[in-house]
Chains A and B, each alone.
Chain A
Amino acid sequence: MRVSLFVPCFVDQLTPRVGVATAEVLTRLGHEVEFREAQTCCGQPSFNSGQWDVARPAAVRALEVFRGAEAVVGPSGSCVAMMRVFYPQLLEGTPHEAEARDLASRTFEFSEFLVKRLGVEDVGARFPRKVTYHDGCHALRELRLKEEPRRLLRAVKGLELIESEEGESCCGFGGLFSAKFPMISTAMAQVKGGALVRTGAEFIVSSDPSCLLQIGGWISREGKVARPLHIAEVLACRD
């Protein structure tokens, strides 16, 4: 299959290795991977801030960028939820509504694409470490993905998956929320980050790089030992 990568803007600038790992896993599975360089940001920061008129052109741009793509795959539940769930709402009643729905049907979160679209669980990865998994809220509640990433992780050789307390709790990122209400966001990071660290896992894995930015940022500041890692990076590891 020809897969068009949808790389979140902050992954592009801050954690490009997540995009690289995503491409690597898909290529290894025999798919042709492309990256359309016209893509930038999906517009979610403006959408979530209530600036729908500003977010709308960003959405229309994304429709143009990914026009004709067989499948659009993004390593972020949040950015994919923006395209899948919120673009059709944002563009409802505009001439772009039908195309938004069409794009939504062709857009997948990375773990979802592997498990649900391709039917793959074992990608041939090996990662003999203790990891715990953090569900990003958009993946969990907008895209209803919970088992998909876990199936992929359980199939990784040597990997030990430890579930945390506060399993379905939010890490407190929430985009600009984390900077507009930093005190609440930090309290949430303490609760969720604390629970993840208490599992004793060496790595905190998630399908959402934005959550990892929050959890990783808090862990780094607090001097904890666990490291944030995107699920694509785990799946890209081999012997």
Chain B
Amino acid sequence: MSDPRSIFLKDATVTSADGTQRAFIRKALGGYYVNRDLQKARYRDWERARDAAALAKWNAVNDLAVVLEQFTANFERNGGVVHWARDAAEARAIILGIAEKAKAKAIVKSKCMTSEEIHLNDALEKAGYGVVESDLGEFIQQLRGEAPYHFVFPCMHVKREAISELFTRHLGTPPTDSPEELTMIARRHLRQLYVDADIGITGANFLVAETGQISITENEGNARLTAALPRIHIALSGIEKVVASLDDLSVLLPMLATAGAGQPMTCYNTLYSGPRREDEPDGPEEFHLVLLDNARTRLLADPEQRDALHCIRCGACLNVCPIFKNIGGLAYGTTYQGPIGSVITPHLRGLKQWNHLSGASSLCGACTDACPVRIDLHHHLLHNRRNAAKESPTWFDRAFHHGFSFVIKRPWLFAAGGRIFRATLPLLRKLPLPYMGAWMKTRDLPEAPARSFREQWRHDHA
């Protein structure tokens, strides 16, 4: 019972019953809702801004080959080196190759979910490199030996006391309950590591085609140090992160900040334009960009769900998702949690193994309303369900729905079946029936009425 579905069911059963964790996550998101709404209100028209943001991504994604080539040509002109990786293994091999050639020892990283996607840390550590996460949340998760809980707020589930204990255990610092002091502990620890590191690995929020620049957004300043201090900078990015122009960026950056964190702008927004030039005092000697496909072109080939490639990884869909808020981020067992993760993980890792995530949704649609680039998230969950039913149908589902269909095609049978159902409901409640048994564990069913509506109608209109 170690398939993803069984693990999910087991983990989600535990976490959805954890009222303490649920309250903690809701409290953590409480401030976000207030700030997000405050910032949204500063837009003259948030809905029109969503249209503009969606269009900017649509333009790039629907012309990906052209826009990407324009980007890489300009990136190379700026002195960077482009590497294309078809999948996770290729991306890891490229990065290991660069590290080996540079005779690197220590590597510092800033936040990069794409590196989680390709399990880069594991590969680097196995090859003998020391790797340190410099984003505070990622650093905490690295010390905890746990995957990120939320792809924007990696340790949002960890209480302050637990962070203090963690630092005491790993860094030998005295316990404290001051968030500022905890941040300073991490900062003091990390500063020397930037200086010692041979390679800095970052992600990319956007790749700007017209200038060949990489846009990175952060609140802590650690990505700047990661990119600037080590002699080699490697950026790892999915191919879908490209946008055509700086104008597009001017729409997307504030929306990313507002939708993702309730900020007007993220604290640091940097455009990286290649390695150190001759007249510059600092910056890396080499600047590599690994462009990762890893099933993105497969998603691109699906016109129905192509808009999932618009995703700017703001996390707004997680923050409003009742599933995420009740099961938490780790139960998903994916790199990308929440609605966007449930949509794209089947594409990235296989529909048969990961379709349960599309099923684990009430299809409430809060995610779709929250998405700043208008990805049709909850309908894509329906599309995944349909595709899975076609590709790998289960006999139970087929039998159940064909049986149901047989009944509802025949009004007389529906009426007769309904009568039997109502008459035997007191007994049925006690039986371990599929679906009804699961319902009855935590919820009651109403008393069955003597007459159905159709019987009542016939009686009243006879």
Closest to A137 in B: B364
Q: Is the CB of B446 within 8 A of A15?
A: yes
Residue of B nearest to A180 (CB): B359
Q: Are B405 and A14 in contact (CB under 8 A)?
A: no
Q: CA–CA, A137 to B12, complex, Å?
A: 23
A residues less than 8 Å from B444 (CB atoms)? 216-217, 220-221
- Contact across chains for B436 and A46 when beta carbons are under 8 A apart: no
- Across the interface, do A7 and B364 meet the contact criterion of CB distance under 8 Å? no
Contact across chains for A15 and B449 when beta carbons are under 8 A apart? yes
Is the C-beta of B452 less than 8 angstroms from some C-beta in chain A? yes
* Contact call B322/A14, Cβ cutoff below 8 A: no
B362 adjacent to chain A (CB < 8 Å) = yes
A49: B residues at CB distance < 8 A: 385, 389, 397, 401
Given known contacts A169-B322, A181-B12, A16 and B365 CB-to-CB distance under 8 angstroms: no
Evaluate contact between B16 and A179: CB separation under 8 angstroms: no
Q: Which of A51-59, A105-113, A120-128 contacts B (4 or more CB under 8 A)?
A: A51-59
Min CB–CB distance A136 → chain B (angstroms): 9
Is A41's beta carbon under 8 Å from chain B?
yes
1/0 contact trace for A123-159 toward B, CB 8 Å?
Answer: 0000000000000010011100000000000000000
B268 interface residue per 8 A CB criterion: no
Residue of A nearest to B405 (CB): A54
| B residues in contact with A218, CB < 8 Å | 442-443
Tell me how far the C-beta of B450 lies from the nearest C-beta in chain A, rounded to whole angstroms.
9
The chain B residue with its CB closest to the CB of A176 is B435
Whole-angstrom CA separation of A7 from B457 in the bound complex: 11
**Do A170 and B438 touch (CB < 8 A)?**
no
Q: Are B408 and A43 in contact (CB under 8 A)?
A: yes
Q: Does B422 contact A (CB under 8 A)?
A: yes
Among A50, A173, A217, point to the contact of B386 (Cβ < 8 A).
Answer: A50
Tell me whether B401 and A19 are in contact (CB under 8 A): no
A177 to B405: give the CA distance in the assembly, Å.
19
From A12, A23, A179, A186, B454 is in contact (CB under 8 Å) with A12
Nearest CB of A to B375, in Å: 14
Q: Could you tell me the distance between the alpha carbons of A227 and B452 in the complex, rounded to whole angstroms?
A: 21
Does chain A have a CB within 8 A of B360?
Answer: yes
In this assembly, does A17 line the interface, its C-beta being within 8 Å of a C-beta of chain B? yes
Q: Does B404 reach chain A (CB closer than 8 Å)?
A: yes
Q: A38-B411, A39-B411, A217-B445 are in contact. Are A174 and B453 (CB under 8 A)?
A: no
Question: Residues of A contacting B171 with CB < 8 Å?
Answer: none
B 400-458 contacts with A by CB, 8 A: 401-402, 404-405, 407-411, 414, 418, 421-422, 434-436, 438-439, 441-446, 448-449, 451-458
Chain A positions within 8 Å of B456 at CB level: 16, 19-20
- Known A37-B411, A179-B439; contact A46-B362, beta-carbon cutoff 8 A: no
Report yes or no: B326 in contact with A45, Cβ–Cβ below 8 A: no
Whole-angstrom CA separation of A177 from B16 in the bound complex: 15
Inter-chain contact A174/B364, CB cutoff 8 Å = yes
Decide if B323 is an interface residue (CB 8 Å cutoff). Answer: yes
Q: What's the least CB distance linking B264 to chain A, in Å?
A: 24
Q: In residues 327-383 of chain B, which contact A (Cβ within 8 Å)? A: 327, 359-366, 368-369, 382
- Once the chains bind, are A177 and B361 in contact (CB under 8 Å)? yes
Question: Which chain B residues in 18-32 approach chain A with CB under 8 Å?
Answer: 22
| Chain B residues whose C-beta falls within 8 Å of the C-beta of A213 in the assembled complex | 445-446
- Say whether A182 faces chain B, with CB atoms less than 8 Å apart: yes
For residue B38, CB closer than 8 A to chain A, the reply is no
User: How far, in whole Å, are A57 and B323 apart by their CA atoms in the complex?
Assistant: 32
Contact residues in B for A221 (Cβ distance below 8 Å): 442-444
CB-CB nearest 6 A-B residue pairs = A174-B362, A50-B385, A217-B443, A50-B389, A170-B364, A16-B453
Interface residues of A (CB under 8 A from B): 7, 9, 11-17, 19-20, 23, 35, 37-41, 43, 45-52, 54, 57-58, 61, 137, 140-142, 168-170, 172-174, 176-189, 191, 213-214, 216-218, 220-221
Inter-chain pairs besides A35-B454, A40-B410, A184-B12, 19 sampled, C-beta below 8 Å: A7-B453, A11-B453, A14-B448, A14-B449, A15-B446, A19-B453, A19-B456, A40-B407, A58-B409, A140-B365, A168-B366, A170-B366, A178-B439, A178-B443, A181-B12, A187-B16, A218-B442, A220-B443, A220-B444
A–B pairs, 21, beta carbons within 8 Å: A7-B453, A13-B448, A14-B445, A40-B410, A40-B411, A46-B404, A50-B386, A54-B404, A54-B405, A57-B405, A61-B409, A137-B365, A168-B366, A179-B434, A180-B359, A181-B12, A183-B17, A187-B326, A217-B446, A218-B443, A221-B442
